[in-house]
Amino acid sequence: MAVLSALVKRFSLKVKTQSKKVNKSWLNDHVNDPYVKLAKKEGYRARAAYKLKEIDEQLGLIKPGHLVVDLGSTPGAWSQYVRRRLSPDGAAVGALNGTIIAVDILPMEPVEGVLFINGDFREPSVLAELETALQGRMADVVVSDMAPNLSGIESADAARIAHLVELGLEFAQKHLKDEGALVVKLFHGSGYSQLVKLFKESFHIVKPIKPKASRDKSSETFLIGMGLKHRNIANP
């Protein structure tokens, strides 16, 4: 019994040590990350702003006068980037030539000029609130950084990811202009090829992009669909 207790204790200490090493390694990578430093310098809430920036610069998605919907917006870095793109001077405050509507289940600190809806996009009541905010207008661009809490069980995680991507696509088919664009986050692995196929069936142009700001270790990538082939017949 004493031997077993000693082994359990040793294993526990080993796990804790490994966990500390992993946390220390992550913290070291984070602190020394050039995008983290740049985000701090330029006033962005998260390094994720540079993912959307690179996608936008490659494809020219966001233009002055646009109506942009930001799904899964918290902490607000993507909304901050869009806000600066729609500013005549590229500023974080002041005049804004366009409309930004952001949605997230988590609270978000205000971003000047951004209408924020705090709620679960999967809930009909929240979707209805978003549709009311659109005031009958169609979006030029829909961006989604939504991602589920991953369990580590591949099949379950793939289903959760697919569900969020499909919700974003369904929203776009109802509320995106014919020539508009949808940007979603997804992960390589189970279900990835099926989601790409779904996008190709829905858009004239489909581009997968892994921005430089997306960490090498991450299977995260972004899928951009441009020019709707068809839309949901329920569109008002």
Domains of the chain: total: 2
In a domain, 39, yes or no: no
**Of 181, 154, 156, nearest in space to 58 by CA:** 181
pLDDT score of 70: 98
Burial class (CB within 10 angstroms; exposed 0-12, middle 13-18, buried 19+) of 160:
middle
Mark whether 2 and 92 lie in a shared domain: no
97/164 Cα distance (integer angstroms): 29
Task: Write the pLDDT tens digit of every residue in 97-141.
Answer: 999 999 999 999 999 999 999 999 889 999 999 999 999 999 999
Q: Per the structure block, which two tokens stand in for 149?
A: 């809490």
Task: Write the pLDDT tens digit of every residue in 188-215.
Answer: 888 899 999 999 999 999 999 999 998 8
- Strand, helix or coil at 145? coil
Q: Per the structure block, which two tokens stand in for 189?
A: 């692995």
We report the CATH number of the domain holding residue 147 as 3.40.50.150
Q: Which residues are catalytic?
A: 185
Q: Per the structure block, which two tokens stand in for 74?
A: 């918290």
- Strand, helix or coil at 115? strand
Mark whether 20 and 55 lie in a shared domain: no
